[in-house]
Amino acid sequence: MRIKFLPSGVEIPVDPTKSLLKLATENGVKIKSVCGGVASCSECRIKIIEGAHCVPEPSKAELNLIGTSYHLDGRRLACQVRCFGSITVDLTEQLNKADTQKKIKGMKVKDQKEIHAKQDTMILTESKDKK
């Protein structure tokens, strides 16, 4: 039994005791997750394109996080999926994500290079072209 990740074609063995996110991470397959697998960020959305019958239905907690996307196109949270048979996972959405950093509400910074942290203090500097 194998888990195949597309578009890369990487295959790893199934371990029903571990989440898909954990298995992928342990085997060098990158799936973005801000919360580290505690099902609070929904960044680790993936699409199971083959073998969906080899994974349990999503829990209420998972459905609350992913909303209608599961019913529309079958997307799941990799941190919540455990499989007991061969599946194929499409990671195209993961590859298309530009940045996993959550933006701080109300903070507008054009260039991330302008932020410097020093002993838990954020120092913002104005770029030279704005002066």
Residue pLDDT, tens place only, 98-122: 444 444 445 454 554 444 444 555 5
- pLDDT for the residue numbered 100: 43
Domains of the chain: 2-97 (3.10.20.30)
pTM exceeds 0.85: no
| Long-range pairs for 91-98: beta carbons < 8 A, 24 or more residues apart | 91/5, 91/6, 91/7, 91/8, 91/29, 91/31, 91/46, 92/6, 92/7, 92/47, 93/45, 93/46, 93/47, 94/30, 94/31, 94/32, 94/44, 94/45, 94/46, 95/7, 97/32, 97/43
